[in-house]
Amino acid sequence: MKYTPVIGLEVHAQLKTESKIFCSCSTAFGAPPNTHVCPVCLGMPGVLPVLNKKVAEYAIRMGLATNCRINMESRFARKNYFYPDLPKGYQISQYEMPICEYGYVEIEEKDEKKRIGITRIHMEEDAGKLIHDPDRPVSRVDLNRTGVPLIEIVSEPDMRSPEEAGAYLRKLHSVLRYLGICDGNMEEGSFRCDANVSLMPLGSEVFGTRAEIKNLNSFKNVEKAIRYEIQRQQDILDDEGEVIQETRLWNPDKELTTSMRSKEEAHDYRYFPDPDLLPLVLDEKWIEEIRTDLPELPDEKKQRFTEELQLPSYDAKVLTAERELADYFETCLETYNNPKQVSNWVMGSLLGLLNTEGKSIAQSPVSPPMLAELLKLVDGGTISGKIAKTVLEEMAKSGKKAGQIVEEKGLVQVSDTSAIEALADKVLAASPDEAARYKEGNKKLMGFFVGQVMKESKGRANPKMVNEILRKKL
């Protein structure tokens, strides 16, 4: 390709506060339409908004976690436009003086670390929801979401590939969830992303004209849509055409973007400072309190896992992506302190089992002490690693403890020399041809014999002893 892609993302994160940003209505999801509303969020004349302090606290938390400067004074502005889901005719947002600016997060792509700049983080209110009747030409308005708090996180145009954009988005998602300020559910719209994409000739420093892509409701779609958009713009430029500045919609079924509006049709929002809200002036002491309260974040945790626990960087990355998973892992270590072994079992077996059941780690029927108990049985030689896999499956299904399953199903490992010798004799007697070929030098047949003995023992024979005994006998 003769071009370098340039990508900047705008992310909207719904904050997990109990009440809305400028009134005391509940933010709970799924209530009957228009039950979580009041004169303020309905946009009645003569009522006044009052800022929810938690919203500012959460925005500051995110700003600190992403290395932003926290502005001691910020302002709310009105963004004016008409739409049926916006009863006031304007959205309260921040424009000229946002609460956080000049931050960055670090991403890792193909083992290379890179900083992605964060231009700004600002607070704003969400709009309502239109529900279109599939049977009649009627749309209904649900204003429960009107006034639910959001932060918008605007990146610098620092990303150069769909993969980098994906890594950046995952990092933001992970940090928001670590901080406990956003549930990150993309399908329900509590974590939304718009992508700005342009191309410039290789070696150039001058950005090309960008298109903004909306309707990206999964990580996969973000990367797919950007990939599609790069190809679309490349085709235009190769034909000596001109990319126009516009907003485009991603169609996930057809996997393409279509034009929504051009720059000429773009809104002029006529931003101005909201006269109903005072400038927000922060207290240095409060910011320090919030800073002290920050949890260990994914990057720090990952570093600790590689340095102190000696985990490979890949393991550390997977285990720290979600705070719940990292907590699960560390709780296992409290009673079974073998990090690499626990990591292997969590990443290799447990996550796979949970995945097929569509469960998260928090919903795991196998608790950390239960997994620790299972691994101790393997270490103590009570069961083999192979049997342990089936025991784990059974634990996930029944919620029973490892010891109980091993006892009920008679899975205790056979480490009794005479019992294994008897099985070996039986196998060797049944396969005289193979035994002869082994003795003539075909050493590969060892695997066959071991397999047969293991089969005879229903997987319970101690594999190390099986090997030794067979070698002696052959």
Is 8 a binding residue for ligand ADP by CB under 6 A? The answer is yes
Give, as one character, the DSSP assignment of residue 191: E
Q: Which is nearer to ligand ADP, 196 or 413 (CB)?
A: 196
State in angstroms the smallest separation of the CB of 188 from Zn ion: 20
A 10 A CB-CB count for 318 gives: 19
Binding residue for Zn ion, selected from 23, 121, 186, 427, defined by CB under 5 A: 23
Assign residue 209 a region (left: φ > 0; alpha: ψ between -120 and 50; beta: otherwise).
beta
φ/ψ of residue 67, rounded to 5: 60, 30
The window from 38-46, 179-187, 195-203, 370-378 that contacts ligand ADP (CB under 6 A) reads 195-203
Is 154 a binding residue for ligand ADP by CB under 6 A? The answer is yes
Contact 131, 143 (CB under 8 A): no
Binding residue for Zn ion, selected from 25, 216, 316, 366, defined by CB under 5 A: 25
Distance CA 387, CA 379 (A): 13
Question: Residue 114: exposed, middle, or buried by beta-carbon count in 10 A (0-12, 13-18, 19+)?
Answer: middle
Helix (H/G/I), strand (E/B), else coil: 358? coil
The window from 8-16, 41-49, 132-140, 269-277 that contacts Zn ion (CB under 5 A) reads 41-49
Which amino acid, 213? I
Q: Which is nearer to Zn ion, 11 or 25 (CB)?
A: 25
Select from ligand ADP, Zn ion, none the partner in contact with residue 25, using the beta carbon and a kind-dependent cut-off of 5 to 8 Å.
Zn ion
x/- mask, Zn ion, residues 90-129, rule CB under 5 A, reads: ----------------------------------------
Distance of CA 265 to the CA centre of its chain: 35
Helix (H/G/I), strand (E/B), else coil: 176? helix
Helices (DSSP H) in 246-399: which residue ranges? Answer: 284-292, 298-307, 313-320, 323-335, 339-345, 351-357, 368-379, 385-398
The window from 196-204, 320-328, 379-387, 446-454 that contacts ligand ADP (CB under 6 A) reads 196-204
Is 41 a binding residue for Zn ion by CB under 5 A? The answer is yes
State in angstroms the smallest separation of the CB of 210 from ligand ADP: 4
Q: Which residues face 100 on adjacent strands?
A: 70, 121
Is 366 a binding residue for Zn ion by CB under 5 A? The answer is no
State in angstroms the smallest separation of the CB of 345 from Zn ion: 48
Q: What is the largest CA-CA distance in the chain?
A: 99
Token code pair at residue 337:
């302190």
Token code pair at residue 267:
């809104």
Question: Residue 446: exposed, middle, or buried by beta-carbon count in 10 A (0-12, 13-18, 19+)?
Answer: middle
Token code pair at residue 421:
């010798």
Q: Which is nearer to ligand ADP, 273 or 365 (CB)?
A: 273
Distance CA 436, CA 127 (A): 80
Distance of CA 41 to the CA centre of its chain: 31
Q: Which is nearer to Zn ion, 89 or 447 (CB)?
A: 89
Binding residue for ligand ADP, selected from 19, 144, 155, 457, defined by CB under 6 A: 155
The window from 2-10, 39-47, 442-450, 465-473 that contacts ligand ADP (CB under 6 A) reads 2-10
Task: List b or e across 146-165, with b for residues whose CB sees 16 or more CB atoms inside 10 angstroms.
Answer: bbbbbbbbbbbbbbebbebb
The window from 30-38, 172-180, 258-266, 274-282 that contacts Zn ion (CB under 5 A) reads 30-38
The window from 38-46, 127-135, 154-162, 372-380 that contacts ligand ADP (CB under 6 A) reads 154-162
Which amino acid, 375? L
Select from ligand ADP, Zn ion, none the partner in contact with residue 88, using the beta carbon and a kind-dependent cut-off of 5 to 8 Å.
none
Is 342 a binding residue for ligand ADP by CB under 6 A? The answer is no
Q: Which is nearer to ligand ADP, 117 or 252 (CB)?
A: 117
The window from 47-55, 194-202, 343-351, 462-470 that contacts ligand ADP (CB under 6 A) reads 194-202
Question: Residue 413: exposed, middle, or buried by beta-carbon count in 10 A (0-12, 13-18, 19+)?
Answer: buried
x/- mask, ligand ADP, residues 72-111, rule CB under 6 A, reads: ----------------------------------------
Is 157 a binding residue for ligand ADP by CB under 6 A? The answer is yes
Is 10 a binding residue for ligand ADP by CB under 6 A? The answer is yes
Q: Which is nearer to ligand ADP, 235 or 407 (CB)?
A: 235
Residue number with the smallest Cβ distance to ligand ADP: 8
Select from ligand ADP, Zn ion, none the partner in contact with residue 6, using the beta carbon and a kind-dependent cut-off of 5 to 8 Å.
ligand ADP
Q: Which is nearer to ligand ADP, 9 or 466 (CB)?
A: 9
Select from Zn ion, ligand ADP, none the partner in contact with residue 41, using the beta carbon and a kind-dependent cut-off of 5 to 8 Å.
Zn ion
Report strand pairing: 211-216 vs 246-251: parallel
The window from 16-24, 117-125, 173-181, 376-384 that contacts Zn ion (CB under 5 A) reads 16-24
Q: Tokens 């003795």 sit at which residue? A: 439
Smallest Cα–Cα separation from 390: which of 400, 453, 464, 363?
400
Distance CA 474, CA 456 (A): 18
Residues that bind ligand ADP (CB under 6 A): 6-10, 154-157, 196-198, 207, 210, 212
